[in-house]
């Protein structure tokens, strides 16, 4: 975000335009249901998407797990010998 956009944001020159639900597909954890809010500057030249999960939901738990796992990848489990 550039300085002008940040200054506008701090002056509250943004408008909440819509709320929606989004499903992100994570390669390891599968679908993650999130709430999505889009905020636009007054001239609508910039947008900020805010993705959140309500507490005590499966989406929230998956986000907490991702905070710990980061970008780690897990190998497929093979036969145990």
Residue 30, sorted as left (phi over 0), alpha (psi -120 to 50) or beta, turns out to be left
Q: What are the angstrom distances between the C-alpha of 29 and each of 6, 10, 62?
A: 34, 35, 7
Give 31's pLDDT tier (boundaries 50, 70, 90): very high
For the chain, what is the mean pLDDT?
A: 80
- Model confidence band, residue 14 (pLDDT cutoffs 50, 70, 90): low
Output 57 or 69, whichever has higher pLDDT.
57
What ranges do the domains of the chain cover? 3-69
Could you read off the pLDDT of 59-75 as tens digits, one per residue? Answer: 999 999 988 887 777 66
Alpha helices in 1-81 (DSSP H): 3-10, 58-69
pTM: 0.60
| C-alpha radius of gyration, the chain, whole number | 18
Are the C-beta atoms of residues 46 and 15 closer than 8 Å to each other? no
């Amino acid at each position: 975000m550039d300085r002008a956009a940040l200054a506008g944001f701090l002056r509250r020159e943004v408008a909440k335009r819509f709320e929606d639900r989004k499903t992100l597909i994570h390669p390891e954890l599968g679908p993650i249901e999130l709430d999505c809010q889009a905020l636009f500057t007054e001239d609508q030249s910039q947008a900020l998407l805010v993705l959140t999960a309500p507490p005590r939901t499966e989406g929230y738990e998956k986000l907490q797990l991702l905070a710990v796992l980061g970008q780690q990848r897990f190998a497929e489990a093979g036969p145990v010998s």
